[in-house]
Amino acid sequence: MATILSGAAVANARSEALSARVTKLKKSGIVPTLAIIRLGERPEDLAYERGACKRCEQIGIAVQKFLLPQDAAQDAVLSAVEAINRDHTIHSALLFQPFPAHIGGDAVIAALNPAKDADGLTNDSKSHVFSGHGIGFPPCTAQACMEILHHYGYDVTGKRAVVIGRSMIIGRPVAMLLLQENATVTICHTKTEDLPALCRDADILIAAAGRANMVDSSYVSAHQVVFDVGINVGVDGKLVGDVDFAQVEPRVAAMTPVPGGVGAVTSTVLAAHVVEAAEGMA
């Protein structure tokens, strides 16, 4: 049986320290503030927004929402970004992705002040994650995996890490964060040959493919720590990870559950980015 790496435990421990930092900021007249830009009402965006707002409220962070219809014009989205850039009382922004097809997402992201980029979207943030220099934060989910590793005392130095997924929001940045901490990292994708064998060889396995239950018992081995980043909606409407919990949990050393794992930490990392940005602008 695996040790279950509870995201709630990590999030609660992190939140206490963040609340203390917010209290200090408020004493000097600064209310850390997150702006949210959301187009339309995708259920997954609404679910994430609810969790983020709840966490921010708990920590003492204010949230200002810029809500636009699904068919909003590009200029309206750019105006919201520019309003956020101009407003000195807003320290950080979350832009829900992907944008509808008629919106040029690259132009919207390029318009955001990188210092206010809470989720690693801008080129400056990406450059920071990949080079270790400059400004910006890693995407919250990628950092959440690292926070769980740190909280539970895993040292990745010299360990073999396999990441399933090469997106710019999870797969690649989490690979870079693992590399920064001296893991030996392999990034896998749909063209990877013999994926189960590569995965079995890993000390740390990060599943971020967005394929419900794809990681079964043929992908894992007994010594492994497995991170299930996937959030998929099952046929019954329930959340399912990329890892088949029933098959994998009895066969690995430790794993994150879905729900209650990586996703539970992501909103706390978002809050941490807002607080850090506010401290930086103080």
Question: Pick from 174, 177, 180, 221: which is nearest to 198 by CA?
Answer: 221
Phi then psi for residue 66, to 5 deg, are -115, 95
- Shortest distance in whole angstroms from residue 194 CB to ligand NAP: 11
Question: Is 186 among the residues that bind ligand NAP (CB under 6 A)?
Answer: no
**Among 112, 170, 174, 271, interactor with ligand NAP by CB under 6 A:** 170
**Among 34, 90, 195, 270, interactor with ligand NAP by CB under 6 A:** 195
What letter does residue 219 receive in the DSSP assignment? G
Tell me the CA distances in angstroms from 259 to 88, 256, 266, one per residue in order: 36, 9, 12
Using CA atoms, how far apart are residues 241 and 59, in angstroms rounded to an integer?
Answer: 28
Task: Look at residue 237 and give its three-state secondary structure.
Answer: coil
DSSP 89-113: T--EEEE-SSPPTTS-HHHHHHHS-
**Among 33, 92, 224, 266, interactor with ligand NAP by CB under 6 A:** 266
Question: Is 176 among the residues that bind ligand NAP (CB under 6 A)?
Answer: no
Residues 115-144 that bind ligand NAP (CB under 6 A): 141
Question: Is 94 among the residues that bind ligand NAP (CB under 6 A)?
Answer: no
DSSP 2-58: PEE--HHHHHHHHHHHHHHHHHHHHHTT---EEEEEEES--HHHHHHHHHHHHHHHH
Beta carbon nearer to ligand NAP, 11 or 209: 209
Question: Is 40 among the residues that bind ligand NAP (CB under 6 A)?
Answer: no
**Among 220, 229, 243, 275, interactor with ligand NAP by CB under 6 A:** 229
Question: Is 164 among the residues that bind ligand NAP (CB under 6 A)?
Answer: yes
Question: Is 188 among the residues that bind ligand NAP (CB under 6 A)?
Answer: yes
Beta carbon nearer to ligand NAP, 98 or 280: 98
Beta carbon nearer to ligand NAP, 25 or 94: 94
Question: Is 259 among the residues that bind ligand NAP (CB under 6 A)?
Answer: no
Task: With contacts defined by CB under 6 A, name the span among 16-24, 35-43, 158-166, 219-227 that binds ligand NAP.
Answer: 158-166
Contact assessment for residue 254 and residue 202, using Cβ atoms and an 8 Å cutoff: no
Q: What Rg do the C-alpha atoms of the chain give, in angstroms?
A: 19
Question: Is 163 among the residues that bind ligand NAP (CB under 6 A)?
Answer: no
Beta carbon nearer to ligand NAP, 32 or 171: 171
Task: With contacts defined by CB under 6 A, name the span among 12-20, 64-72, 121-129, 261-269 that binds ligand NAP.
Answer: 261-269
Question: Is 182 among the residues that bind ligand NAP (CB under 6 A)?
Answer: no
Residue 182: HSE in the Cβ half-sphere, 13 Å Cα cutoff: 5
Using CA atoms, how far apart are residues 58 and 221, in angstroms rounded to an integer?
Answer: 39
Residues 206-225 that bind ligand NAP (CB under 6 A): 208-211, 214
Task: Look at residue 66 and give its three-state secondary structure.
Answer: strand
> Which residue type, as a one-letter code, is found at position 259?
P
Residues that bind ligand NAP (CB under 6 A): 141, 164-167, 169-171, 188-192, 195, 208-211, 214, 229-232, 262-263, 266
